[in-house]
Amino acid sequence: MHDEQHTNATAPRVGLIAGWGRYPIVVAQALRAQGCHVVCLGVAGHADPVLREMSNAYSDIGIGKLGTAIRYFRQQGVTRATMAGKVHKTLLMQGHWIKLLPDWRALRTFFPHFFSLSKDRKDDTLLKAVVDAFAEDGITFVPATIFVPEILVKAGTITKRQPSRAEMKDIEFGWKIAKKIGEVDIGQSVAVQGQAVLAVEAIEGTDACIRRAGELCKGHGFTLVKVAKPNQDMRFDVPTIGIGTVESLVQAGARVLAIEADKTIFLDREEVIAFADQHRLAIVALRRDAATGQFRDAA
């Protein structure tokens, strides 16, 4: 744990559960800039070690240690918290869940999902169970984007190259499919070529979906559509793109990335745009007009 001695006693205390990737670092930086006292729980095997130095108080936490996490935030005086970064759900599926050595609170919370099987294991179901468990102890979770609203992508063509007419047809086709799979909480991304689905993202994540699409279309170019769920809870599992996403796309031979404006976290912006332009990858952020069903790619 890392504690700073010279923190303003009146500074608002915000808990941060940090998963994998750069997003938790961006959130921690924003919280510090806003004068918050950052209490961070880094998910073991996921969180970047730099968060220890960026936080006023820090502790590593195992995936199965829900009770420990709640107690830590309570001891630190946290009543408002947020989560950022991915937790690789495949860990929960590899072997028996009990190998993660869950504490009593985790067993109680996840018993219906992993033991009695009376509830499903969809991402939203599991994450809402976690958020509800914290709420029982007076800790309210809020979207991380409240602290960094500028990280949500605005509508428009982001790269020099715009999608062609045929690629826009693929985007429109893929968008409907992606919204459908999001509605049933399967995933957020779909790879499309010639108005046919190449690959659908599920538990394996976006990068694996991209690789699979590349293997199937053998460098002939495809479109990846990544959208928010129809009833997206902005507290968790918000669609995110960064340099890793575009590197995977270029390596797989993709030609277009379409994302949902105002609902997608955009990391490494300058680096992403430069890399995409260098490799002629078109990136467009779209908003669908609820009344007309038409796309709008301008604010």
* Residues 77-90 pLDDT 10s: 999 999 999 876 65
Q: Among 99, 116, 146, where does a domain finish? A: 146
Query: Is 176 or 113 the better-scoring residue by pLDDT?
Result: 176
Q: Are residues 291 and 156 in the same domain?
A: yes
pTM of structure: 0.85
6 is a domain residue: no
Residues 114-137 pLDDT 10s: 656 766 667 677 788 889 999 999
Q: Which run of H or E residues covers position 203?
A: none
In a domain, 203, yes or no: yes
The residue among 188, 209, 183 whose CA lies nearest residue 258 is: 188
pLDDT bucket at 2, cuts 50 / 70 / 90: very low
**Do residues 140 and 181 both lie within one domain?**
no
Q: Please state, in angstroms and rounded to a whole number, the distance separating the CA atoms of residues 95 and 44.
A: 18
Phi, psi at residue 287, to the nearest 5°? -130, 130
**Cα separation, 277 vs 274, whole angstroms:** 5
DSSP 191: E
Least confident range of 28-42, 54-68, 123-137, 178-192: 123-137
Do residues 220 and 268 both lie within one domain?
yes
Among 125, 146, 167, residue at a domain's last position = 146
Does 292 lie in the same domain as 173?
Answer: yes
Residue 138 lies in a domain: yes
Domain assignment present for residue 4? The answer is no
pLDDT at 153 over 90: yes
Q: How far apart, in whole angstroms, are the C-alpha atoms of residue 43 and residue 84?
A: 11
Give the whole-number percent of the chain exceeding pLDDT 70.
84
Q: Which helix (H) or strand (E) holds 84?
A: strand 80-84
- Minimum mean pLDDT range among 66-70, 188-192, 250-254, 287-291: 287-291
Burial 95-111 (b: 16+ CB within 10 A, else e): eebeebebbebbbebbe
* CA–CA dist 76, 15 (Å, integer): 9
Distance CA 190, CA 163 (A): 17
Query: Which of these three, 146, 172, 201, is where a domain ends?
Result: 146
Residues 136, 160, single domain; the answer is no
**Tokens of residue 42, six digits:** 């880094």
Provide the residue type at 288 as one letter.
R
The tens digit of pLDDT for each residue in 265-299 reads: 999 999 999 999 999 999 999 998 766 667 766 44
Q: In this structure, are 79 and 113 located in the same domain?
A: yes
- With a cut of 80, say whether residue 185 has pLDDT above it: yes
| Residue type at position 201 | E
Q: What is the mean pLDDT of the chain?
A: 87
- The verdict on 225 and 162 lying in the same domain is yes
CATH number at residue 254: 3.40.140.80
Cα(230)–Cα(180) distance, integer angstroms? 8
At 265, give phi and psi (nearest 5°).
-80, 130
The number of folded domains in the chain is: 2
Q: What stretch of H or E contains 295? A: strand 295-296
Whether 290 maps to a domain, the answer reads: yes
State both tokens at 40. Answer: 């961070």
In a domain, 3, yes or no: no
Instruction: Mark whether 137 and 185 lie in a shared domain.
Output: no
Q: Are residues 17 and 112 in the same domain?
A: yes
**CATH number of the CATH domain containing 81:** 3.40.50.20
Looking at the domain assignment, is residue 2 inside a domain?
Answer: no
Query: Does any domain span residue 166?
Result: yes
Whether 53 and 158 map to the same domain: the answer is no
The residue-averaged pLDDT of 40-45 equals: 92
Give residue 115's domain range: 13-146
pLDDT computed for residue 79 by the predictor = 96
- The pLDDT value recorded for residue 218 is 77
pLDDT at 92 over 90: no
Q: Is the pLDDT of residue 64 over 90?
A: no
Residues 234 and 288 reside in one and the same domain: yes
Q: Are residues 82 and 182 in the same domain?
A: no
